[in-house]
């Protein structure tokens, strides 16, 4: 399935959702799966349908460095359990946009690159707006019931590492350091998530994105768009 066709299908599915509050869409997947790119593409397409799009990422909800690395800088358990402020995602974003929410939300609370708080200005969401939230670990039990549509972007771990060697070089400095961190922390941490949360089973839609030019929907519990 070509990317444009995939995006069009996902947009139709999202627009078909009926609720009396903003539609909350999760775009989940392992590291470097292509979550941000897909969410951006969906967002651009939704704008042409005159729907307000709220874009946010789990990268805006990191916990402070001392908390992220409490179990050790290379701890897989620390990556899954300690990296992100799950309660803040709920209280600042998902619950306010939910059926009993005020509609007032924040899209980020922390700047992990400077290891300091950075709370985005409050905004108010129209009832027919659409939240596109991308990131890792989104279909964990603490968050799973708060999504109106969940998408899991699936790739092989070998593909994840290969993409990371290009993407994460400015962050980690050398390819050796990227390989070291992925083999010790990120990939084992993702394996914990896949084993405990089973996101491929939980997701409404699973997409094979090993070939980004030809992604394929391999599971869809929402029917044809």
What is the structure's pLDDT at 10? 97
What is the structure's pLDDT at 224? 64
Residue bearing tokens 């969940």: 150
What is the structure's pLDDT at 119? 96
Residues 147, 138: contact at Cβ < 8 Å?
Answer: yes
What is the structure's pLDDT at 1? 61
pTM of the predicted protein model: 0.96
**Torsions phi, psi for 131 (to 5 deg):** -90, 125
Domains and CATH numbers, the chain: 3-219 (3.40.50.300)
The full DSSP string for 152-170 is EEE--HHHHHHHHHHHSHH
Going by C-alpha positions, the residue among 130, 145, 107, 94 that lies closest to residue 19 is 130
Return per-residue pLDDT of the chain as tens, 225 residues. Answer: 689 999 999 999 999 999 999 999 999 999 999 999 999 999 999 999 999 999 999 999 999 999 999 999 999 999 999 999 999 999 999 999 999 999 999 999 999 999 999 999 999 999 999 999 999 999 999 999 999 999 999 999 999 999 999 999 998 999 999 999 999 999 999 999 999 999 999 999 999 999 999 999 999 987 765
The end-to-end CA distance of the chain, in Å, is 14
What is the structure's pLDDT at 222? 77
| Number of Cβ within a 10 Å radius of residue 12 | 13
Q: Rounded to whole angstroms, how far apart are CA atoms 188 and 9?
A: 33
Burial of 179 (0-12, 13-18, 19+ CB in 10 A): middle
What is the structure's pLDDT at 225? 57
């Amino acid at each position: 399935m070509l990317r444009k066709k995939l995006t069009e299908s996902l947009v139709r599915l999202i627009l078909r959702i009926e609720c009396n509050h903003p539609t909350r869409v999760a775009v989940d997947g392992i590291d470097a799966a292509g979550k941000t790119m897909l969410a951006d593409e969906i967002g651009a397409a939704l704008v042409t349908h005159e729907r307000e799009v709220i874009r946010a990422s789990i990268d805006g909800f990191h916990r402070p460095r001392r908390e992220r690395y409490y179990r050790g800088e290379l701890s897989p358990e620390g990556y899954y359990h300690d990296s992100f402020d799950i309660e803040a995602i709920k209280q600042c974003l998902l619950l306010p946009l939910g059926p009993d929410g005020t509609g007032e939300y924040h899209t980020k609370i922390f700047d992990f690159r400077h290891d300091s708080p950075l709370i985005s200005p409050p905004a108010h969401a129209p009832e027919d707006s659409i939240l596109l939230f991308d990131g890792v670990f989104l279909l964990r039990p603490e968050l799973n019931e708060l999504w109106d549509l969940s998408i899991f972007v699936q790739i092989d771990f070998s593909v994840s590492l290969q993409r990371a060697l290009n993407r994460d070089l400015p962050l980690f400095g050398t390819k050796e350091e990227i390989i070291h961190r992925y083999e010790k922390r990120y990939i084992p941490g993702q394996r914990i998530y896949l084993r405990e949360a089973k996101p491929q089973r939980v997701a409404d839609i699973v997409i094979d994105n090993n070939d980004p030019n030809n992604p394929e929907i391999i599971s869809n519990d929402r029917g044809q768009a």
